[in-house]
Chain A
Amino acid sequence: MFTILENRMIVPNVFVMRVQAPEVANGALPGQFVIFRAEEDGERIPLTLADWDVQAGTITVAYLNVGRSTAKLATLRAGQTLPTVVGPLGKPMEIDHFGSVLCVGGCYGIASIYPIARALKEAGNTVICVMEARSSFLIYWQDKLRSVSDRLVYLTRDGTRGKRGHIGSLAEVIRTLPMRIDRVILNGCNYLMMRGSQETLPLKIKTLVTLNTLMIDGTGMCGVCRVTVNAETKFACVDGPHFDGHQVDWAEVTQRRKAYLPEEIIPLRTTRPF
């Protein structure tokens, strides 16, 4: 049992949860993920680590309340427990001195890009963080991201904060920066990562994405997380979740992600409280 220390809606529909899980915190590296279960017999929910504190033995994740299982997570309060917190899983993000790195986060990816940006900064890179959102009221963690980046770029669809635009304007954002970008890292929904990768392809900038495929065990046992990368099948949970965005078969990723959409809706068709 893992005690919840904090669980709150930080912007509409995005939640940040902090949990006591010392062993996970102890081994955590940037870009790794955990699997939660919100209740006994519950679904296994993969979530990227957004922060951790080895001393305090805590980990932090951000999630979007989208289906039955995340809805259940959202009802939990500090002091309650989760039956499962397992991790850290997956390979960590490659951290090295690359030069200037652009870290793009949207939705819960704003949170999950944070430890990656922090590690890149510590490794001596110039870090530029781009926060992408529909509107200014969906932006959070500005202070945390600012503390680990040399420059912060806001990109909102309605222009209420920073540049007006969306992930499809990424190439333009990169062109207007005063420095050459050596690497791009994209975190967020599959659409953001796909669209962002399309933007950087013609610019020939190495681009890494953190895939959020369907998963069950997260240890390479079931294979539901299969993705085709460079014409080869990979298991996102153990071979990834980080892949070259220019080599991912995005049509397949999108299709596989939708496999259980109808079933995920069935349990929501109820007035019974979660």
Chain B
Amino acid sequence: MEQLVKKGLDLNRRPMPKQPVEVRRRNFEEVALGYDAKLAMEEASRCIQCKKPGCVEKCPVEVDIPGFIQAIADGDFARGVRILKAKNSLPSVCGRVCPQEEQCEGGCALLKKAGQIAIGRLERFLGDWEAAQADLMLPQIAPPTGKRVAVVGGGPAGLTVAGDLIKLGHEVTIFEALHKMGGVLVYGIPEFRLPKRIVEREVDYLRRLGVKMVVDYVVGKTRSVDSLLEEYDAVFVGSGAGLPWFSEMPGNNLNGVYSANEYLTRFNLMRGYTFPLVPTPVKGHTQVAVIGGGNVAMDCARTALRMGAETTILYRRSREEMPARLEEIENAEEEGVLFRYLTLPVRCVGDERGWVKGLECIRMELGEPDASGRRSPVPVPGSEFFLPFDAVIHAIGNSPNPLIPQTTPGIEIGRRGNIVADPLTGKTTKPRVWAGGDVVTGAATVILAMGAARRAARSIHEYLTNPGEW
């Protein structure tokens, strides 16, 4: 390594151009602006093309990372796109929302020198470059097999399964409960982090490949999985983890108290940030509390901030333990979100009209590390205090929606309400039914949902082409 540095190893990670803080904290436009070709090529040229690349090892879908980076360095972006898309069908999305610091970039050989390659930014660059080209490269589609597959849920898992199977010649229909395709990518993740036109573009691409999409269709209500099985050869369930949790405390049903899902859905899916241009109403709050420390909490806080509220994140452990991506924490801090660590809300306090007026909280301290090595927080007796808020958002997690489990006899359900599926194939205990993504793992990540969907698509294809052996 030392030698390499002497040989002119460039450890200068090219920074991402961003909207200035003072500007972006008042708009919903995308925060990170993306590399241009010059920056991308400079960044790509820093890669030392490891023989045994640590980045690939840590990529859940095993993208040939040095391969596409070399293509960028050579200025051959089309080749880069081909290499990338062989493994990842949604690069513009993943480049923006993957936790790269824990994945590819966390395995980069240059990490020790704090010069890890900005793999996510390069991935995003290629995805966006491709989209900007006049003629999109449509892949080869295998001759029709006459087999039909129903996909439940239009999130990353469902979109990935659909894309893989349509290319193999099967007929694919996605059934989506909401009025737009995209799952969490459209109803949860805010515009300023993932512009909706990018999701629309990916959905549109699949439509051009021939994927049929039926929105406003709740499987388990409009029609059951069993009924779909009468008409389709296989069913893939990618219905996500959409059931919101509330911290257990009195006062949660006061007005002004939201689940993260409700708050984000109003702003993203229903485009509430343009109210009253759109009819779905949103409230103008002045002091907003967000309970939780994950990506969802950051998204809620940064949305509330953009709506003009003083916004505070309440987290019961300390900054080090926060599960959100570091980049998002830093963005939130820069933009002016306030953080109160080691704070546990114990009661929503309401006014006489039934509106929340604040939170009673208790201070926590970190105890001894538990079996998992995490130091668990314990309340400090007698340390209760009151903080005034006119809105409280619970962003402490989600679990799978019980609708499909409840209406699908013969499918095994795990302890947390998740559908049980073989991690290698996505097969459930019900014949001809596969599942993947958050509905199997509980709330996780886009890339893990895509990876699971990939494996399920492979297994579904094997079944469809060789049903006799199953």
Which residues of A line the B interface, CB within 8 A? 23-24, 27, 37, 41-44, 68-69, 72, 83-89, 216-217, 219-224, 226-228, 233, 238, 251-252, 255-256, 258-260, 263-264, 266-267
Do A219 and B403 touch (CB < 8 A)? yes
CB pairs A–B below 8 angstroms (8 shown): A27-B223, A86-B217, A86-B222, A219-B177, A222-B244, A223-B262, A252-B354, A263-B281
Nearest CB on A from B410, distance (A): 20
Do A238 and B403 touch (CB < 8 A)? yes
Interface of A is mostly: mixed
Q: Which of B262, B282, B353, B402 has the most CB of A within 10 A?
A: B262
User: Known: A23-B217, A223-B244, A256-B253. Contact between A217 and B279, CB under 8 A?
Assistant: no
Nearest CB on B from A268, distance (A): 10
How extensive is the interface on chain B, given as a class? 35 or more
A24, B275: Cα distance in complex, Å: 31
Q: Does chain A have a CB within 8 A of B146?
A: no
List B contacts of A83 (CB < 8 A): 179
List B contacts of A220 (CB < 8 A): 242-243, 401-403
Do A27 and B221 touch (CB < 8 A)? yes
Do A87 and B221 touch (CB < 8 A)? yes
Q: Which residue on B lies nearest to A251, using beta carbons?
A: B354
User: Known: A24-B222, A223-B244, A263-B282. Contact between A255 and B354, CB under 8 A?
Assistant: yes
Do B401 and A221 touch (CB < 8 A)? yes
Which residue of A23, A223, A226 contacts B261 across the interface (Cβ within 8 Å)? A223
Q: Which residue on B lies nearest to A274, using beta carbons?
A: B279
Q: Does chain A have a CB within 8 A of B276?
A: yes
Do A256 and B255 touch (CB < 8 A)? yes
User: Known: A222-B259, A238-B403. Contact between A43 and B216, CB under 8 A?
Assistant: no
User: Known: A255-B354, A260-B281, A264-B281. Contact between A221 and B218, CB under 8 A?
Assistant: no
A13, B177: Cα distance in complex, Å: 31
Which of B40-48, B263-271, B308-316 contacts the other chain? B263-271
Query: Per-residue CB proximity of B81-106 to A under 8 Å, as 1/0?
Result: 00000000000000000000000000
Which residues of B line the A interface, CB within 8 A? 177-179, 187, 215-218, 221-223, 242-244, 246, 252-253, 255-256, 258-259, 261-262, 265-266, 270-271, 275-276, 278-283, 353-354, 401-403
List A contacts of B276 (CB < 8 A): 263, 266-267
User: Known: A87-B221, A238-B403. Contact between A216 and B270, CB under 8 A?
Assistant: yes
Nearest CB on B from A26, distance (A): 8
Which residue of B215, B265, B270, B279 contacts A68 across the interface (Cβ within 8 Å)? B279
List A contacts of B252 (CB < 8 A): 226, 233
Q: Which residue on B lies nearest to A71, using beta carbons?
A: B279
Do A222 and B221 touch (CB < 8 A)? no
Given A216-B262, A223-B259, A233-B246, 20 other A-B residues pairs in contact with their CB atoms under 8 A: A23-B223, A27-B221, A27-B222, A72-B279, A83-B179, A84-B216, A85-B216, A86-B179, A219-B403, A220-B242, A221-B244, A221-B401, A222-B262, A223-B244, A223-B246, A227-B253, A255-B354, A259-B255, A259-B256, A263-B282
A226, B258: Cα distance in complex, Å: 10
Do A263 and B275 touch (CB < 8 A)? yes
A69, B283: Cα distance in complex, Å: 17
Smallest CB-CB A-B distances: 4 pairs: A263-B281, A255-B354, A222-B262, A86-B216
Q: Which residue on B lies nearest to A224, using beta carbons?
A: B262
Q: Which residue on A lies nearest to B401, using beta carbons?
A: A220
A162, B361: Cα distance in complex, Å: 57
A203, B215: Cα distance in complex, Å: 46
Do A219 and B281 touch (CB < 8 A)? no
List B contacts of A216 (CB < 8 A): 262, 265-266, 270, 280
Q: Which residue on A lies nearest to B281, using beta carbons?
A: A263
A41, B253: Cα distance in complex, Å: 27
Nearest CB on B from A171, distance (A): 28
A224, B221: Cα distance in complex, Å: 20
Which residue of A27, A217, A252, A263 contacts B253 across the interface (Cβ within 8 Å)? A252
List A contacts of B258 (CB < 8 A): 223-224
Do A42 and B279 touch (CB < 8 A)? yes
A72, B278: Cα distance in complex, Å: 12
Do A217 and B265 touch (CB < 8 A)? yes
List B contacts of A43 (CB < 8 A): 270, 278-280
Do A217 and B353 touch (CB < 8 A)? no
Do A89 and B353 touch (CB < 8 A)? no
Q: Which residue on A lies nearest to B178, using beta carbons?
A: A217
List A contacts of B256 (CB < 8 A): 259
A259, B283: Cα distance in complex, Å: 9
A252, B261: Cα distance in complex, Å: 21
Q: Which residue on B lies nearest to A222, using beta carbons?
A: B262
